[in-house]
Amino acid sequence: MRRIVQSQKLQNVRYDVRGPILVEAQRLEAEGHKILKLNIGNTAPFGFEAPEAIVADMVHNLPESQGYADSRGIYSARTAVAQYYQSRGLRDTGVEDVFIGNGVSELITMVLQAFVDDGNEVLVPAPDYPLWTGAVSLSGGTPVHYRCDESNGWNPDLEDIEAKITPNTHAIVVINPNNPTGAVYSEETVRALVDIARRHDLVVMADEIYEKILFDDAVHHHAATFAADDVLCLTFSGLSKAYRVCGYRAGWVMISGPKHLAEDFLEGLTLLSNMRMCANVPAQHAIQTALGGYQSVSELIGPGGRFREQSKLAWRLLNDIPGVSCVEPQGALYCFPRLDPEVYPIESDEAFVIDLLRAKKILVTHGTGFNWFAPDHFRLVTLPDEEVLTEAIGRIAEHLATLRA
């Protein structure tokens, strides 16, 4: 019999957040080891529960959720999303501008399949959430990575973006607040990114899933606010993180700007939406309750809140390790520390992460897994409580001490 092999379309697709390193962790678990998984921003295993009102509303609507819904999403959910953006200054947003999906991940894939032709270039930040790079490649496009500047709080390097635009560049991805760095972009930066899109006739794809997880004085600015009526902007967000319902898979994309120029693209997006029938219906009933109700995430991001205090603790502990530096996150659920190459001359950060896993039973993700350019970073999830987080970073410090020795 002939060998059955994977499609050639997957040759340039990586998703190391759940890749070979996780397989090694599962092997160790099968041997009886307890692994602390700090590789995925999954809130439930760390004691973060969904607001009761969201669960109750979904359960209440289960009897009416047995059939297919409108492929774009149930009316109440799309209305709630439209009104959410209207309340933030995007007054022209309507129900017809919203598509509901099985999380933002599904919608990213659908949008890129509807938008990208073979060889089209899409600007993607480095570091990035690797789904963006993988989905661009899988759709036949070419991801072109623009640098985010660690010395400038991980803000996008605007000159680097301009230098990488070609006649074949069609879109720019903006991840704000950023995963994996925790950066939250200023109004000036977001305006500048949209202005670049305006000058070069690019579509803005704004991944804003962490928009409510902000610390101290950080303020989130929707890219669509500055796109006005002359830049097409696709805004992605959902319930997974701020409402602690990762498993519900309830996300949306909102289209704003010159929609009359995008009718053909939107027809294609509707076609793909129809092909998957609809997003899971029960979770859609949670959207209206979440967006319109009490915003419990405020208790987590303010002084004394777990999201905030654990982020700051991780940042302090990491910076206390010799040869390690970490820009303070302004939002999201991660730290992205740098290992000084003069102290830790690491040639393969994937090998470093596997060695750490085997030695200390701590699972993190290597920086090149987020399409960073050098093997000198890793991403750490800051979701464990302070005691566990202190123990975990202590083990990382011990492992790094052996490397220094």
Residue 256, phi then psi, degrees to nearest 5: -140, 165
Q: Which residues pair with 379 in a beta bridge?
A: 365
- DSSP code of 123? E
- DSSP code of 202? -
Q: Is the peptide bond prior to 63 cis by the omega test (within 30 degrees of 0)?
A: no
Closest by Cα among 150, 191, 153 to 174: 191
pLDDT on residue 23: 85
List per-residue pLDDT tens for the chain, 405 residues long.
898 878 777 777 766 666 678 888 889 889 999 989 898 889 999 999 888 889 998 899 889 888 999 999 999 999 999 999 999 999 889 999 999 999 999 999 999 999 999 999 999 999 999 999 999 999 999 999 999 999 999 999 999 999 999 999 999 999 999 999 999 999 999 999 999 999 999 999 999 999 999 999 999 999 999 998 899 999 999 999 999 999 989 999 999 999 999 999 999 999 999 999 999 999 999 999 999 888 889 999 999 999 999 999 999 999 999 999 999 999 999 999 999 999 999 999 999 999 999 999 999 999 999 999 999 999 999 999 999 999 999 999 999 999 988
Asked whether the CA dihedral 226, 173, 17, 355 is positive or negative, the reply is negative
Q: Distance (Å, rounded) from C-alpha 78 to C-alpha 69?
A: 12
pLDDT on residue 9: 76
Q: How far from each other are the two terminal CA atoms of the chain, in whole angstroms? A: 52
pTM, rounded to two decimals: 0.93
Q: How many CB atoms lie within 10 A of CB 70?
A: 16
